[in-house]
Amino acid sequence: MVAVMASEGRAEQSYCADQVRRHDWDRFICTLFAPAERRPALFALLAFNLEISRTRAMVSERLLGEIRLQWWRDAIAAIFRHDTAALKHPVIEALHDAVATYALDHNAFEAMIDARSDEFDDDPAANLPALIEHALGTEGHLIRMQMHVLANGTPIAEPDRLTADDVAVAAAIAGLARAQRAGTGFLEHARNRLATARSRQRDIDRRYLPALLPATLAEMDLRGHQPARLRRQLAVTLKVLRGKF
């Protein structure tokens, strides 16, 4: 616990880490449990997720939102073309390094952007199937790419992929629970997803824990508990000490 707090204080000082610390504190804390050499790539992914997730809230017109998301599509394409002259944004620069180091999947980035574009058509929380699809397209791909980084670019086994999807859906519903927008059926589904994910814990590669730790915080939110940051951090730390999520 002390070591993690010291790490938090000293400086995940990059632009990406700072954005995640400011706007996605839960995942910032979870990422501090990753090996130091993996954190820059993880923070780059999380900062990218923040950028595209803001689109619907930032603009009211679909055309303006699509323009913004197209900018990110073009920037991601530039990364995979190794067009370094086009890399003028700190998140894109960091993603370029992550892609080069860990051979991340271009299609995963595209799918995440597409899912954010779909938010202009329908409310992802309108019904459970729509929410599941949206969660898999956003948080599902994010967690899988994080796992890919944590495994140093090696392929992810199918049970681990399924666990990532279960945690993604549970975390998405937990977000609705925090906003008091999750009905009873949603909450029950999220709890079932968490139980299924945790039924595989003994077989999960422990390297993946930092990407799966949001499950711990989702569980707290699904119970209606929204404790202070220190208690959330303590809950995550205790899980890590036990080698669980």
State the CATH number of the domain containing residue 182.
1.10.600.10
Instruction: Spell out, as residue ranges, where the chain has pLDDT lower than 70.
Output: 1-13
Cα→Cα distances 165→33, 78, 138, Å? 21, 28, 10
- Report which residue type is found at 15: Y
45 inside domain = yes
Cα angle 96-109-4, degrees, rounded to a multiple of 5: 65
Model pLDDT, residue 13: 62
3 inside domain = no
Model pLDDT, residue 163: 97
- Domains held by the chain: number: 1
DSSP string, 11-43: ---SHHHHHHHHH-HHHHHHHTTS-TTTHHHHH
Query: How long, in residues, is the chain?
Result: 245
Report the C-alpha gap between 127 and 90 in whole angstroms: 36
5 inside domain = no
Model pLDDT, residue 41: 98
The secondary structure of 169-235, three-state, reads: HHHHHHHHHHCCCCCHHHHHHHHHHHHHHHCCHHHCCHHHHHHHCHHHHHHHHHCCCCCCHHHHHHH
Q: Answer whether 112's CB lies under 8 Å from 47's CB.
A: no
144 inside domain = yes
Range of the domain at 167: 13-241
Give the dihedral of Cα atoms 33, 220, 171, 228; nearest 10 deg.
Answer: -60
Report the C-alpha gap between 57 and 124 in whole angstroms: 14
Model pLDDT, residue 40: 97
8 inside domain = no
Report the C-alpha gap between 142 and 73 in whole angstroms: 16
17 inside domain = yes
pLDDT digits (tens, 9 = 90+) for 129-184: 999 999 999 999 999 999 999 999 999 999 999 999 999 999 999 999 888 888 88
178 inside domain = yes
93 inside domain = yes
Phi-psi region of 243 (alpha: psi -120 to 50; beta: other; left: phi over 0): left
